Structure 1
Amino acid sequence: MDMIQIIEMVMIQIIKIITIQIGMDMIQIIEMMIIEKMIDVKILLMIQIMAVISIIEMILKVVIIKIKMEIIIEMVVEEQQQKE
């Protein structure tokens, strides 16, 4: 287990937690709206699309962070090799 794998695992767990939280919040909001008869099918679709977009955004952010970390680690490795 190297550092990258550990960080990846932590990130995946964080995404899961946040995704589940977003999902739960969305479900509660939708349930409330249905109970209040406030919701339209179009609005429901919009909410679902928004949820999907926000999850995709989060995944992209994590991918970007992962790429940045890989670059930093490569730079550190190169520096160490130059010292040797």
Structure 2
Amino acid sequence: MSKIIVEIVPKPEILDPQGKAVAGVLHRLGHTEVTDVRIGKRFEVSVDGPITEETLSAISEIAADVFSNPVIEDVVSVRIADEAEA
């Protein structure tokens, strides 16, 4: 079984309170080199058979139509999982 990874984050203009909270904690812990944190979603999609360009295109469409809210989120990555992830 093959696996595809889909990553989605809030659009840059959308407030990310969870990311702001994590950035604040990191600063309090002394990690002042961190300037911003955005928290998103990751989907692991298993598919039968080999992954083709058509499969990736179909999953990209699903990501845009089902996994994300296009008003407030961007699909930033649709890729084949590497060995460590699969």
Higher RCO (C-alpha under 8 Å, 6+ residues apart): 2
* TM-score grouping bracket, smaller chain normalisation: under 0.3
- Computing the radius of gyration from Cα coordinates, the structure with the larger value is 1
More helix by share: 1
Q: TM-score, normalised by structure 2?
A: 0.27
More strand by share: 2
Q: TM-score, normalised by structure 1?
A: 0.28
